Every structure is written in structure tokens, then in C-alpha cells.
Structure 1
Amino acid sequence: MMRRMIGMLLATLCVAGSLSAQKAEALLDKAAAAYEKSNGIQATFAANVRHEKTGVAESFEGTIRMKGNKFALVTPDIRTWYNGSTQWTYMVRSKEVNLSTPTGDELESTNPLTLLRTYKKKFTASYIGASTAGNGRMADDVALTPRGRSDIARVEVQLERSTSLPARLTVTMKNGMRSVIRISRMQTGVNPPDKTFSFNRAEYPGVTEIDLR
């Protein structure tokens, strides 16, 4: 009898886990479709980055423009452009710009919104539950955990029900770094030109370029 009860419990847990994954994937697929149909987005966000091991924390605000797999990210200290292959990272204080070819993990840690388009390749999704976004709208929370080797330990995405687009992203790295990004405004149909996603040297005279590729 005890073995039968344990078997039934395990079966129930498996079914519940399967349904949770299906719901999470459906929500993420809907979010990805909404993004693809958006014709480019621009978002304003507030971020809090904390290293759990050292207790060091930093808060800042910024904006991001995205279209397809390209993005341009602006924060007070750093500006980043990614054109789909090359990434430029400009350090405001040092007036240096680093050129690199980022890995998938690096892109996802720099811009977690890229997970909407790539999560199926490396992550397992599960449904956390319903929640309320910062603007008071109903939302759903989804968790992503890596299936293989990754610098990322866990990602949580809050998706607004009315738009299917993210309202909050929480990224926990294996090194103890935790980033919480709250999106305060999301504009769709922005359709930024391709030059938006590449570094324009003419706008940054005297900059030092460091090629890390």
C-alpha cells in the first residue's frame, strides 16, 4: 500500500510539473510572438544589482532599444550596442570602448530580454504563479533554469497579461550576482534603424577602442 501511495504521489508530481512547464512555455511563446510583432521596442527600466556574497549593491536607471536580435542599451556608466554579431561596450568614465563577440550567456546577462527568443535552446521553464506588476496590472511569473553548463543559475520573468511583454526580470548568476530589472515603460512599433545598434565613433571623439575579438 505504501509503495502504491508513493507511486501515485510521484505520478501526480510529474503531471503537475509537466502542466507547469506547458503553461510556462505557452506564456513565453506568447511573449516571444508579441516581441516579434512589435516592430522594435524601447523600454525604460530601473535596475538593482547585488552581489550576495559581498553585499555590494548598485542601483541605476536606463533605456534599451531592441529589434530582432539587436539592441542598444544606455545606463549612466555604460553604453552597449549589439548588431547581431559584434558588441561595443563604451565606458563613460574612461572613454574606452571594447569590441567583442559575446557568447550566449554574456548576451543573456547583459540583456535578459534576449531570453524571450532563445530560452528553448538552453533552459527549462516552469510556472511560478500569478502576480501583480508594478503598474498594478495582472501578470504571471515564469522561472527558467539552465539545462546544461551556464553562468546563470536562474531567471524569473514577470509577464503582463494585457501585453504578454515583460514587466520584471530577475537574473541570478552562479557567482552570487543578482540583478532585478523593473520595466517602467515599454513602447512598441519604434522600428529603430540598423545604425542604432552599432557604435558611431563620430559621436565619441577621443575614444580609445580595444578590440577583444
Structure 2
Amino acid sequence: MKRLTLITLSVILLSSITVKAQLDKNANTLLDAVSVKTKSYSTLKIDFIYKMENKEKKINETKGGSLVMKGDKYKLEISGRLIFCDGKSVTTYLKTENEATISANQSDDDAVNPTKILNNYSKNFKPKYIKDATEGGKAVAIIDMTPIKAKSYYKIRLTIDKANKQIVNSIVYDKNNSTFTYTVNKYTPNPAVDDSKFIFKKADYPGVNVEDLR
């Protein structure tokens, strides 16, 4: 009886290991497919809804936003901020204060640009396939991305449209018990975008106060 119990436990353990390995393989396969599709676009525009929530501090903020990407360049508009990245530097402009801060582009600043999550994700994250689900009539996969190096956040949860190979939702969980949710409304592949769109031009913002931290 004892021997049978041990055999049964061994089978269960091996089965769980096999299932976990298969799920991890599924996560990598799907992330690779999403990465390939995203990289196939010369430019990409994403319109999304942004939600910040912190129950302890009673914060619940929802706003619209947009992201335009071209290679390692991007322009992000969200919650009263404009963020320009020309590939070398990042300028954050605050509309209400009419202030801009310029800093060097950090290679590990992956919470801003979703392509950075996908590029070399295996070196920067440990993906875990959570489950399959149905959202809005579409089959989706839920994958958690845990950063290998210490970050201000401890997890990014991705919801991926399995048929279209697109991220439809991402939730960033930071260490201050806040969540930042980005829900995609629309993908626009290959819009015409000039490189000048990713450059902050001081002349466009009369009276702006600029702080250069590079």
C-alpha cells in the first residue's frame, strides 16, 4: 500500500512538472509570435485606456492615451503628459506645469514601451502561462512576466489575443500596491510617421521650463 502510494505521488508529481513545462513552452511560443508580428510593422499606433488604482490611497483614475512607435523611438500621450523618445533621450512634458525634463534613454525602461517587454524578454523576464480565457468573444491567454532584475514593479500581467497575436491588456503591479492597467482600444499598423514626431521641440511650447538631466 505504501509502495503504491509512493508510485501514485510520483506519477502526480511528474505529471505536474510536465504540465508546467508545457505551459512555460506555450508562454514562450506565444510571446515569440507576438514579438515577430510587432517587429514586422515599420510603425505602430496604439490607442488605449489607462487606469491607475491604489485602494489604500483611494486612487482610481481612468484616462485615454496613445502610443506611436517606430523602432526604438516612441511618443506617448497619457494623463496630461507627453513623452518623446528619439532613441537616445527621453523628454517628459507636463502640460499643466508647462515643464519638460530630459533624461538619457534607459535600455531597461520597459514599462513604457511594450516592444521592450517583447524584445529579448527571455533575458529580462520569467514568463509564466497562467490560463486560457475568453474575453469579448475572443480566445486569450493570460501570461505573467516577472522581472529578473529588481524593478519598481514586481509583475506585468499580459492578456494576449491568441488569434491576432496582439497584446490587448497589460497590468503593471508596482511595489507600492498600485496597479497600472492599459487596455488597447485600437491598433493602427504602419501609419505614416516622420521621425520629427519623436523629438521634443522647445519652440512648440512657449515659456516652457526645461530641465536637462543627461
Is the Cα–Cα contact under 8 Å of residues 87 and 105 in structure 2 kept in the other structure?
no
* 3-state SS, counterpart of residue 111 of structure 2: helix
How far has the Cα of 1:13 moved from its partner?
2.2
How far has the Cα of 1:98 moved from its partner?
0.5
Aligned with 2:43 (options 35, 40, 48):
40
User: Does residue 93 in structure 1 map to residue 93 in structure 2?
Assistant: no
Is the Cα–Cα contact under 8 Å of residues 30 and 162 in structure 2 kept in the other structure?
no
Matched with 2:111 is: 109
| Paired letter, 1:170 | I
Q: Which runs of 5+ in 2 are unaligned?
A: none
Bigger Cα Rg: 2
1:150-175 deviations in Å (ceiling 9; x for gaps): 22211111122332111111111122
Is the Cα–Cα contact under 8 Å of residues 49 and 59 in structure 1 kept in the other structure?
yes
Aligned with 2:29 (options 22, 26, 30):
26
Matched with 1:144 is: 145
Is the Cα–Cα contact under 8 Å of residues 146 and 155 in structure 2 kept in the other structure?
yes
| Paired letter, 2:147 | P
How far has the Cα of 1:81 moved from its partner?
0.9
Matched with 2:190 is: 189
Separation in 2, partners of 1:191, 1:31: 22
Runs of 4+ residues over 6 Å off in structure 1: none
TM-score calculated relative to the size of structure 2: 0.89
* 3-state SS, counterpart of residue 188 of structure 2: strand
Once the two structures are overlaid, the 10-residue window that deviates more, 36-45 or 95-104, is 95-104
How far has the Cα of 1:190 moved from its partner?
1.6
Is the Cα–Cα contact under 8 Å of residues 81 and 95 in structure 2 kept in the other structure?
yes
Separation in 1, partners of 2:135, 2:195: 32
Separation in 2, partners of 1:39, 1:77: 27
Matched with 1:178 is: 179
User: Does residue 67 in structure 1 map to residue 46 in structure 2?
Assistant: no
How far has the Cα of 1:31 moved from its partner?
0.6
Matched with 1:125 is: 127
Is the Cα–Cα contact under 8 Å of residues 27 and 128 in structure 2 kept in the other structure?
yes
Matched with 1:79 is: 82
* 3-state SS, counterpart of residue 96 of structure 2: coil
* 3-state SS, counterpart of residue 37 of structure 2: helix
How far has the Cα of 1:128 moved from its partner?
2.0
Percentage of matched positions with identical amino acids: 22
| Paired letter, 2:129 | Y
Separation in 1, partners of 2:120, 2:71: 12
Matched with 1:13 is: 16
TM-score calculated relative to the size of structure 1: 0.90
1:111-159 deviations in Å (ceiling 9; x for gaps): 344212242221111212223345x433222111122322221111112
How far has the Cα of 1:109 moved from its partner?
2.4
Number of residues paired by the alignment? 211
- What RMSD in Å do the two structures reach over aligned CA positions? 1.9
* 3-state SS, counterpart of residue 54 of structure 1: coil
C-alpha spacing 1:5/1:102, structure 2 compared with 1 (3 Å):
farther
